[in-house]
Structure 1
Amino acid sequence: MALRLSTGLRNKLLGTQGLKTIMQNGVIRIYPGVQPASADDAEGATHLIEVTVSSGAFTPGTATNGLNFADPAAGACAKTTAEVWSGAAAATGTAGWFRFYANDRTTGADASHARFDGSVSTSGAQLNMSSTAITAGATTTIDSFTVTMPAS
């Protein structure tokens, strides 16, 4: 299954900004169940965990504890090594997919804001975790995360 980009992210990528800049100080939410057909679709579930820098509190529209990418190389943007991407789970469940939101963290059905979705598994997914079992209160850390954009 491929990453699913929102219409808003696709449109912004056609401009002069790259993924690193567009998604600067964003946040990841991990959800149970099946990934929506489009990143423009509503989440359809309550998130299990929100991933920020060092599990810190995140307020949309501010840079504090937002996630960042390193400079792109060979068509890929990777998690910056200067940050610890982690979060304390808000609920217990099985991770099925994630959504990476730009700094505004616009949720629900929306085609104008930048965000992208991917699958979660223990292997072969866009976000591979040692276990997809999420327990409320437990901290999950993302050690590596790379987004590769197609050449055209």
Structure 2
Amino acid sequence: MALRLSTGLRNKLLSTGSFKETLADGVIRIFPGVQPTTADDAEGATHLAQITLGSGTFTAGQAASGLEFGTAAGGILSKNTGEVWSGVAATSGTAGWFRFYANDLGTGASTDTARFDGSISTSGAQLNMSSTAITAGATTTIDSFTITFPAS
């Protein structure tokens, strides 16, 4: 199963040509339940955890605590190796899917915001976690995050 890109992300990629640049200083939110049909759809649930740089406070439009990708190699873009991507869970629940938002943190239904969605599981998903159980007050860390781009 492939990542689901929003219309806004596709349009911005056409103008910038850079996935890394378009999503610089972004944030990941982990949600319970079923992933929306498209990344243009509203979330439909309150997020369980927000993943930022070192569990820092994220403010939309500000670079502080935003996530960065490293240099792409061989069609693979990975999280910046020097960064700790983590967040303290606000609510307990079972992680079902995630949404990576660009720095503007455009939530709700939109065809203008740059973001993408993926599934979460313990294996075989776009984001594999050691456990999908999220506990309020506990820190969730993403140790590895890679996006593989097709050759054509």
TM-score of the aligned structures, taking structure 2 as reference length: 0.98
C-alpha displacement of 1:28: 0.1
Q: Distance in 1 between matches of 2:37 and 2:60?
A: 25
Q: Does 1:76 align with 2:76?
A: yes
Which deviates the most, 110-119 or 142-151? 142-151
C-alpha displacement of 1:150: 2.1
- Give the share of equivalent positions with the same residue, in percent: 71
Query: Which letter maps to 1:10?
Result: R
Q: Is the 8 A contact 2:23 2:114 kept in 1?
A: yes
Q: Secondary structure at the match of 2:86?
A: strand
| Equivalent in the alignment of 1:148 | 148
Q: Secondary structure at the match of 1:14?
A: helix
Query: Which letter maps to 1:148?
Result: T
Q: Distance in 2 between matches of 1:16 and 1:111?
A: 17
Q: Secondary structure at the match of 2:65?
A: coil
Map 1:112-123 onto structure 2 (within 5 A).
112-123=112-123
- 5+ residue gaps, structure 2, are none
Moved segments of 4+, more than 3 Å: none
Q: Is the 8 A contact 2:16 2:22 kept in 1?
A: no
Q: Secondary structure at the match of 1:55?
A: coil
Q: Does 1:58 align with 2:58?
A: yes
C-alpha displacement of 1:20: 0.6
Q: Is the 8 A contact 2:29 2:49 kept in 1?
A: yes
